[in-house]
Structure 1
């Protein structure tokens, strides 16, 4: 029997609708102001943390092989069929932004809207649905 921390997964997935809407608003009004730049960085960072936190809970709960990196979390959960195959590449691109955002922030090109910001709202919503379906299916 698995112990999947559904509460912690749900808490993190519950952030996605407001995050996706905030990203959409940011896209529409983007002019590159300092506030918008910081908002973009924070939105990307939260999206990364959601994907990796949820992935870690799934890996731990369903006794998948241990992950050694953020990219590994995405690859393991993709390999277990948590979400559609096409989502893996975009999630990998997303989690690869963690180091530049968190550790090399002084080099981040914040004046420009990052290309992932266009895909992110829909990707996050699909990620949420896929994870919820996977957990429901696996815990039957």
Structure 2
């Protein structure tokens, strides 16, 4: 019997959510939960700005979350046989072209990719 995450991510159907994607989605959920916890614990934005430790931790968590999205995207592209992505932004463009990613979400995903590049370099 499938576990609770199969039900949670069931929109894809059991056949489409393989173990690799499922594992990555669980990790993504953990990163999002961490980021929400940090956000909710802040009294002000200034508190965030003044904390080098917190900024580093949040930036790292955002980087990991974005990379998980890219990993899942690449896996879907591979499993579904979509064209090969030329770069990270192309991953999200392909998913939008193929109807996997809603078009209105594409600009946000592209911005996330650019943000990831900034914090990595």
TM-score, length-scaled by structure 2: 0.75
Alignment match of 1:60 (pick from 70, 73, 78): 78
Q: Match of 2:101?
A: 83
Q: Judge conservation of contact 1:48–1:95 (CA < 8 Å) in 2.
A: yes
> 1:32-58: per-residue Cα shift (whole Å, max 9, x none)?
212211111112101211111001101
| Alignment length (residue pairs) | 101
8 Å CA contact 1:71–1:92 kept in 2: the answer is yes
Q: Relative CO higher for 1 or 2, CA cutoff 8 Å, sep ≥ 6?
A: 1
| Structure number with bigger Rg | 2
Residue 5 of structure 1 and its aligned partner are, at CA, apart by: 7.8
- Structure showing the higher helix proportion among its residues: 2
Matched, 1:10 2:37: no
The answer on whether the counterparts of 2:32 and 2:65 sit within 8 Å (CA) in structure 1 is no
Unaligned runs of 5+ residues in structure 2 are 1-15
Structure 1 gaps of 5+ residues are 104-140
Measure the CA separation in 2 of the matches of 1:93 and 1:70. Answer: 11
Please tell me the root mean square deviation across aligned C-alpha atoms, in Å.
Answer: 1.9
Task: Find the residue that maps to 1:50 and give its secondary structure.
Answer: helix
Alignment of 1:1-140 (within 5 A): 6-28=18-40, 29=42, 31-32=47-48, 33-103=51-121
Which stretches of structure 1, 4 residues or longer, exceed 6 Å deviation after superposition? none
